Amino acid sequence: MASATKELKLCVVGSGPAGVYCAQQVEKKVEKATAGAGDPKVVVKTDVIDRRPAPGGLARYGVAPDHAPSVSAVLDTVDAFLHRRQTTRFFGNVQVKTKDAGDVSLDDLRRRYDAVVLANGADRPNELGIQNERELTGRGVFSARQVVAAYCGDPMERLDYSSRVGAFPGPAAEGATDVVVVGAGNVALDVARMLLTPPDALERDTEASRSFLDLVQSPNGPLSKVERVHLVARRGPRSAAFAPRELREILQKRSDQIEAVVTAPERPTSGEGGARFADPFADVPGFKPASRAQKRVFKLLRDHHGGGSEVAKGGRRQLIFHFLHRPVGFEVGEGGELLGLRAAPMAERDDGNGGVVPVPLPGGPGEILVPCQIAIVAASQATIALDGLPSGSESLEGRGGSAVALEREPGKAPVYMCGWANRGARGIIGASMVDADEVSGALVAEYLGGGCERRPSSGEDLAEALRERGVDYVDADGWRRIRVEEERRGRSAGRGGAEKIASAEEMVAIARASP
| Cα 263 versus chain centre, distance | 27
Per CB under 6 A, the list member of 8, 11, 12, 52 interacting with ligand FAD is 52
When asked if residue 18 is in the footprint of ligand FAD (CB under 6 A), the reply is yes
When asked if residue 221 is in the footprint of ligand FAD (CB under 6 A), the reply is no
* Cβ burial, residue 439 (10 Å; 0-12/13-18/19+): buried
Q: How far apart are CA 441 and CA 237, in angstroms?
A: 39
Q: Is 179 helix (H, G, I), strand (E, B) or coil?
A: strand
Q: How far apart are CA 451 and CA 157, in angstroms?
A: 43
Question: Considering the complex, what minimum distance in angstroms separates the CB of residue 422 from ligand FAD?
Answer: 8
Per CB under 6 A, the list member of 10, 12, 19, 211 interacting with ligand FAD is 19
When asked if residue 14 is in the footprint of ligand FAD (CB under 6 A), the reply is yes
When asked if residue 125 is in the footprint of ligand FAD (CB under 6 A), the reply is no
Q: Is 225 helix (H, G, I), strand (E, B) or coil?
A: coil
**Closest by CA position to 211, among listed 276, 151, 155:** 151
Per CB under 6 A, the list member of 34, 88, 93, 120 interacting with ligand FAD is 120
Decide whether 17 or 280 has the Cβ nearer to ligand FAD: 17
Q: How far apart are CA 366 and CA 235, in angstroms?
A: 17
Stretch that binds ligand FAD, among 40-48, 61-69, 269-277, 475-483 (CB under 6 A): 61-69
When asked if residue 63 is in the footprint of ligand FAD (CB under 6 A), the reply is yes
Question: Considering the complex, what minimum distance in angstroms separates the CB of residue 66 from ligand FAD?
Answer: 10
Stretch that binds ligand FAD, among 53-61, 392-400, 461-469, 504-512 (CB under 6 A): 53-61
DSSP letter at 512 equals H
Can you list the positions of beta strands (E) in 334-490?
A: 338-350, 356-360, 368-371, 374-377, 381-382, 404-406, 415-417
Stretch that binds ligand FAD, among 321-329, 360-368, 413-421, 493-501 (CB under 6 A): 413-421
Stretch that binds ligand FAD, among 201-209, 217-225, 414-422, 494-502 (CB under 6 A): 414-422
When asked if residue 96 is in the footprint of ligand FAD (CB under 6 A), the reply is yes
When asked if residue 155 is in the footprint of ligand FAD (CB under 6 A), the reply is no
**Closest by CA position to 422, among listed 442, 406, 447, 404:** 404
Q: How far apart are CA 479 and CA 486, in angstroms?
A: 11
Q: Please give the residue ranges that form the binding site for ligand FAD (CB under 6 A).
A: 13-19, 49-52, 57-59, 62-63, 67, 71, 95-96, 98, 119-121, 123, 148, 187, 190, 384, 386, 419-421, 427-429, 432
